[in-house]
A and B are shown apart, each in its own frame.
Chain A
Amino acid sequence: MSMQRFILRRFVYLLFTYWAFITILFIMFRITPGDPTTLYVVEGMTKAERLATLQRYGLTEPLHVQYIQYIGDLLQGDLGESYRYNAMVSDILVVKFWNTIFLMGTSLTIAYSIGIMFGAYLGWVRGTVQEKLGLFIGLVFRSSPEFWIGIVLLSVFVFELGWFPWGGIKAIGAETSADFFSRYLSTSFLYHLAMPALTGAIYYMAQPILLMRSSMINVLNSDFIEIKQAEGLSSFQVIYKHAVRNSILPMATVIALVAGMSIGGSLVIETVFSWPGMGREMVESVHHNDYPMAMGAFFLMGSVVILMNFLADIAYVYLDPRVRYD
């Protein structure tokens, strides 16, 4: 089965999954207990006003008409209008989207680079005290939810030592520069990014440590490692040129999968550090019954997750020459 055919197959699955995701989204927000108006219309409006608002947002047509209209909007990237901001959802979300991507991107990069190296080390020193200690640390990190890590870091580094700001993306009052890069490369941004990114890094570091360790142990038991040792290669060469290179293969898939899942997790970190990202926006809009914004944020997050899953399937094929998939 050639590579192209496999990627084509995975692409068809992607479209199918994406279509199903959009439909679920549509159904979820449309068919809710009680009357939709109770969800997002400010209380204290008279019956007539409520009907007018319904009409304005086209919620009185039969469901399937709404559905086609909804799909049409999505294809043009129009996520509808937010009630709270009274502006296009997509305009507000674009900035927040990148805030989340930068936050999770940094924490995952830190988590995986340290995690893989530490996991590889644990796999190599199998059966020693260091391994037991490393495993213990890995398990502790894995069993504490993001907000607990966040709060601990907050109380230590912010309240006690005051090294870092409590939250937010920039110093209060500083104006956000228009162009994209200067916003994200300024020192104040990094200064604010430190704590939330560290929280994410600690939370997401546990998995690569444990996975890399078991993957290393598997590889080290295989025949070719014994041959490489018999060849008189230095243990450095055996570990890094052969053992780690083979153990990285399964990690590629996991990295992409977890990157998708971490988008969901950003909610909690952004809430603890009031980081203006998609996640926090979604929680706020749900609290304030602003359903288009909530749906828009949810749609963006879902798209990132599905895309990442697709990349996960493809990544493995490129890295492992023997896999002509299926």
Chain B
Amino acid sequence: MLTIENLEVHYTTDEGDVRAVDGVNLELDRNETIGLVGESGCGKTTTAKAIIRLLATNGRIAGGSIRFEGTELTALSDRDLRRDIRWNEVSMIPQNAMNGFDPVYTVGQQIVEVIRAHEPDTTKRDAMRRARDLFEELGIEGDRIDDYPHQFSGGMAQRAMVALALSLGPSIVLADEPTTALDVVIQDQILQVISDMQDELDSSMILITHDMSVVSETCDYIAVMYGGRIVEYADARTIIQNPCHPYTLGLRNSFPDITAESQELISIPGVPPNLIDPDEGCKFAPRCPFAQDECWEVTPTPEEFGEGHIVECHRAEEVDMLQTEAAKRETWVGEERDVGVQRDQRRVRPVETEQDSNSHE
């Protein structure tokens, strides 16, 4: 349904071009959920927003193609993209629902506005009734459509945002950290609501998050991103239980598991990569304990290991060695490997929106 081929997105800043997305390949079929996992600055949000060309003024799609049901989205005129694709086919759920609504209009008015913008012949009354039904289905009392956004609690606002996102029955929903700002009990309810509606409307979803446990429970496939590229892609079970790329292994080590008896958290030393005209070679090399000369010079090409398991690492064949070594603490936290070593690397924070300080990265 949706294919992305070596997509590149650059942000122009006064210090040079930030290559936020540097060659991403992705496939999404009907009623499928892909999790884009990664840390701040890895390009996961930019990749998703590039699909509907929702980039900041200084951002632009520098290369690659995005095909949806056969039509090339990057070639579409702004007007066509706006009329046919945005919210009609691809809608979005932001992280903080409270800020996602315009504070001076009621929630109902905003849902009606988007319905009538795409279906001019629907009357206001019908649109309002559709909004009311959506609310009921998502567990919000119908007559709350006349409330203002600030009158909703965190959880309720997010449900209203899901209603808005699904108001035109889109084929794809982009969920950008939908539950990060919520408490764990409400998060669980919202994830449940989203997957129920997804099955009902037969729509697929791209879930963007940094939380591996959420992804492992809700997504069919997981793409781990680092430095603007997908370093590992496979079905959820493989990524969690049989990861192969050093970065994925490192992420697994630093993620606390509530069921594990005694687990020693091991962090990945170093700081996120500098994306301004990056030199060749694997971007994870500076922080990777298995990096060899080859990793510093040649950018690794994605290879397939077993059915649908794609890894982008020169030493991917030595998967057993990588997995055993990565589990040991000394591999990662040797004395010289401490934070100090990375000082010389010029560190400029990329301009991407997911960089704002209040998101729970």
Chain A residues in the interface with B (C-beta under 8 A): 126-127, 222-224, 226-234, 237, 241-242, 245-246, 249, 319-322
Binding site for A on B (CB under 8 A): 52, 54, 57, 82-83, 85-88, 91-92, 94, 96, 99-104, 113-114, 117-118, 148-150, 353
Q: Which of A126, A228, A319 contacts B102 (CB 8 A)?
A: A228
Whether B102 and A230, one on each chain, are in contact in the complex, defined by CB atoms closer than 8 angstroms, is: no
Q: A222-B99, A223-B96, A321-B148 in contact; A233/B114 too (CB < 8 A)?
A: yes
Q: From DSSP, what is the main secondary structure of chain A's interface residues?
A: helix
Q: In angstroms, how far is the closest chain B Cβ from the Cβ of A252?
A: 12
Given A127-B57, A223-B96, A230-B54, do A242 and B87 touch, yes or no (CB 8 Å)?
A: no
Given the known interface contacts A230-B87, A232-B87, A232-B88, the answer about A321 and B104 at a Cβ–Cβ threshold of 8 Å is: yes
Bound form: Cα–Cα A64–B148 in Å: 54
Alpha-carbon separation in the docked complex, A241 to B112 (Å): 14
B87 touches A322 (CB 8 A): no
**Taking CB as reference atom, which chain B residue is nearest A242?**
B102
User: Considering the chains assembled together, what is the distance between the CA atoms of A226 and B96 in angstroms?
Assistant: 12
* Complexed CA–CA distance, A158 and B54 (Å): 54
* Residues from chain A with Cβ under 8 Å of B113 in the complex: 231, 233, 237, 241
Instruction: Indicate the member of A126, A227, A249 with the most B CB atoms within 10 Å.
Output: A227
Could you tell me if A232 and B104 are in contact, using CB atoms closer than 8 angstroms?
no
Q: Given A234-B82, A246-B103, A321-B103, check contact A227 B117 (CB 8 Å).
A: no
Chain A residues with Cβ below 8 Å from B83 are 232
Alpha-carbon gap, A181 to B99, bound state (A): 49
A241, A249, A322: which contacts B148 (Cβ < 8 A)?
A322
Inter-subunit contact A232/B148 (CB<8 Å): no
Q: Given A223-B94, A223-B96, A237-B117, A230 and B52 touching (CB < 8 A)?
A: yes
Contacts of A224 in B (CB 8 A): 99-103
- The residue in chain B whose Cβ has the minimal distance to the Cβ of A243 is B102
Contact of B86 among A222, A230, A319, A321 (CB under 8 A): A230
Q: Please measure, in the bound complex, the distance between the C-alpha atom of A225 and the C-alpha atom of B349, giving whole angstroms.
A: 24
The 7 closest A-B pairs by CB, nearest first: A232-B86, A223-B99, A322-B150, A232-B82, A231-B114, A231-B87, A321-B148
Chain B residues lying within 8 Å of A222, measured Cβ to Cβ, are: 99
Residues of chain B within 8 A of A127, CB atoms compared: 57
Tell me, rounded to whole Å, the shortest Cβ–Cβ distance linking A21 to chain B.
Answer: 35
* Complex-state Cα separation, A97 to B259, whole angstroms: 79
Which residues of chain A are within 8 angstroms of B117 by Cβ–Cβ distance? 231-234, 237
Task: Tell me which residues across on chain B come within 8 A of A319, comparing CB atoms.
Answer: 104
Kindly state the separation between the CA atoms of A231 and B52 in the bound complex, as whole angstroms. Answer: 10
* A-side contacts of B92, CB under 8 Å: 227, 230
